[in-house]
Amino acid sequence: MSTAATTALFACSRCCSRHPFEELSPGEQLCKECRGSFPVVKCTYCRSEFQQTSKSNTSSICKKCEANVKAYGKPTACEYCNIIAAFIGNKCQRCANSERKYGPAVTCEQCKQRCAFDRHDDSKKVDGKLLCWLCTQSLKRALARTKQHLSSVDKHKHRSHNHKEKRKSDMMKSMNANDSAMNDSQPLEKKSKMNPMQGELDPNSSDHVVAMTQLKETIASLQKKVQQKDMELLAKDKLITELKAQHHNNTTDLRTEMKNKERLNETRFNLMNGKIQNLLKEVATLSKSAKKNNKNTKTVLANAENSGSGTESPITN
């Protein structure tokens, strides 16, 4: 039985054509043709990349976040990574799962925010750095672009080398044909003077020098462009890091200010409430004292009236 007959085939999730598993895209399980028909976009909430499955579907929300929005409503910012993907509580699912598996969050060496998780595995680090998920994805994309540029340079160099070898072969054939035609009419000494390379390409020939010069200039130009692109990417990553750090600091300061104001208002409320209670007690005491004094005054006046009427002497004629 042949190897092709024993290889398991899997269906594309869109066109249902069958292919080896490694030819299908991870997650969506799309074949090459279907992957080329639909763009890869970033989810508005969780920032993970996914492939749209319909040209009429212009939504930039992945299926998982779309289901969470229907179940829990719009998310809030995660307290660790600041991604707007916290559907339940104040942490996104990615950070919550990482915290449960690897322990508390630590500082990312790129963006300097406390949103990375130490897996205690150097193979999981990117370029030897402990990074958060966002910085890891950004650096991986930058490295992939750099690798792609270098690959294109190598391909161009390989094509130039093949072209040069072809030109060498053509020149050798032409020179050999000329030598064969001149064998019967020219002496050996003269033939050796006209063909000093004796079947080998002269490395100092003008065509060879021009080809090598053009190739060197092309490689230098491409390397310069790659270096400029790398510098631009690093500058953008630095700007993004600074903006994220500034946003994090502003958010922290705002939260701290709000908490301080809440504590201040609570303290003022308690003080005012205490003053009101004391004033009510004083009012009650004064009211009670006033009633008692009023009663005593009435008693004194009554006694005075009774005493005055009892001491009057009768009038005699």
Question: For residue range 35-86, what is the model confidence (pLDDT) as tens digits?
Answer: 666 677 888 888 887 777 665 555 688 888 989 999 999 899 999 998 989 9
* Pair of tokens at residue 73: 């409503």
Q: Which structural domain, as residue segments, surrounds residue 191?
A: 136-260
Residue 141 lies inside a defined structural domain of this protein: yes
Higher pLDDT, 131 or 213: 131
Q: Is residue 179 part of a domain?
A: yes
pLDDT of residue 110: 85
Q: Share the mean pLDDT of the chain.
A: 77
pLDDT of residue 272: 93
Of residues 293 and 204, the one with the higher pLDDT is: 293
Low-confidence winner among 34-48, 200-214, 217-231, 300-314 (lowest mean pLDDT): 200-214
- Which range among 25-29, 224-228, 293-297 shows the weakest confidence by mean pLDDT? 25-29
Q: Is residue 123 part of a domain?
A: no
Instruction: Quote the pLDDT of residue 39.
Output: 73
Q: Please check the confidence at residue 6 and state whether its pLDDT lies above 70.
A: no
- Supply the pLDDT for residue 175: 61
Going by pLDDT thresholds of 50, 70 and 90, the confidence category of residue 310 is low
Q: Percent of the chain having pLDDT more than 70?
A: 72
pLDDT band at residue 22, thresholds of 50, 70 and 90? Answer: confident
pLDDT beyond 60 at 192: no
Residue 215 in this model has a pLDDT that exceeds 90: no
Tally the domains of the chain: 1
Identify whether 281 is part of a domain: no
Between 263 and 207, the more confident residue is 263
* Domain-embedded: residue 301: no
Is residue 48 domain-resident?
no
201: in domain: yes
The dihedral through the CA atoms of 269, 275, 280, 283 has a sign that is negative
Distances (CA, A) of 228 to 50, 57, 146, 149, 224: 29, 36, 11, 12, 6
* Structural domain includes residue 173: yes
